[in-house]
Amino acid sequence: MKILLIVDDSSIITTFASKMFKDEYNVIVAKNGNEAIEVIRNNFDSEFVGMFLDLNMPVCNGFQVLEVFKTNNLFNKIPVCILTGDDTKDSIDKVFNYPIVDVLNKPFNEKEIRICLEKMILRK
């Protein structure tokens, strides 16, 4: 079963997304960027459908994860959709400097997150 990685420090977001996709994918949750990078390292030979990535997290934020992806050329292996409550022009402009699939502004609904997942699947 393909892995869907959800990286967010909000248990509300991770629980919502996990329940939504649990029958379709092996959903793995990380609470910060360091945990996400560890999950990717430990499952590197597995197939990822994509990653939902929050920008504002403790320990290691989404921008730091995006830099790791850029340095290690991971965007082709794992498509990324950003989840954020920070919809400032600076943040949005900065995030689109990376080859991400899309940005979902919080709060989002089930239809919006499914559309973003479809875009990740099409990117592969």
| Tokens (6 digits) for 17 | 């997304």
Partners of residue 28 on adjacent β-strands:
5
* Rounded-to-integer distance, Cα 15 and Cα 37, Å: 20
Looking at this protein, which amino acid is placed at residue 89?
Answer: K
For 19-45, the pLDDT digits (tens) are 999 999 999 999 999 999 999 999 999
pTM greater than 0.85: yes
- Per DSSP (E only), the strands in the chain are 3-7, 26-30, 48-54, 80-84, 102-105
For residue 109, pLDDT beyond 80: yes
